[in-house]
Amino acid sequence: MTESDTNAAQNPFTPDWASPPGDTILDLLNERAWTEQQLADKLGYLPEQINQLIKGKVALTEHMAMLLQSVLGLSVDFWLKREAQYRARAEGLLTL
């Protein structure tokens, strides 16, 4: 084991940030060269609502997860787990 391996084991990486599901949505939009407006149109939401979702200011619901699955192709389970992980991490940061 190298010295850096030992340091990594003793000091595991613990980020001081939380990444909302919106980061994944933005990545997928970029891959498709879509705008938030285009996603909003496809989902039947206002662009402002999509922007709030992307920023993590509103929770990603099961209904939204179903819509995202149909439009972006990732499973409902993926979106709900991504949301739960984000909220848990964000809550953990508040208690630090």
Q: What is the DSSP string of 18-79?
A: ---HHHHHHHHHHHHT--HHHHHHHHT--HHHHHHHHTTSS---HHHHHHHHHHH---HHHH
pTM, 2 dp: 0.78
Query: In this predicted model, what pLDDT tens digit does every residue of 64-75 receive, in sequence order?
Result: 999 999 999 999
Residue 56 sits at the vertex; the CA angle it makes with 54 and 60, to the nearest 5 degrees, is: 85
Closest CA to 39 of 70, 82, 5, 79: 70
Domain 18-94 has CATH 2.40.128.260: no
pLDDT digits (tens, 9 = 90+) for 8-62: 567 775 655 578 999 999 999 999 999 999 999 999 999 999 999 999 999 999 9
Cα-based torsion angle of the residue sequence 22, 93, 78, 55 in order, rounded to the nearest 10 degrees: -10
Domain limits, the chain = 18-94
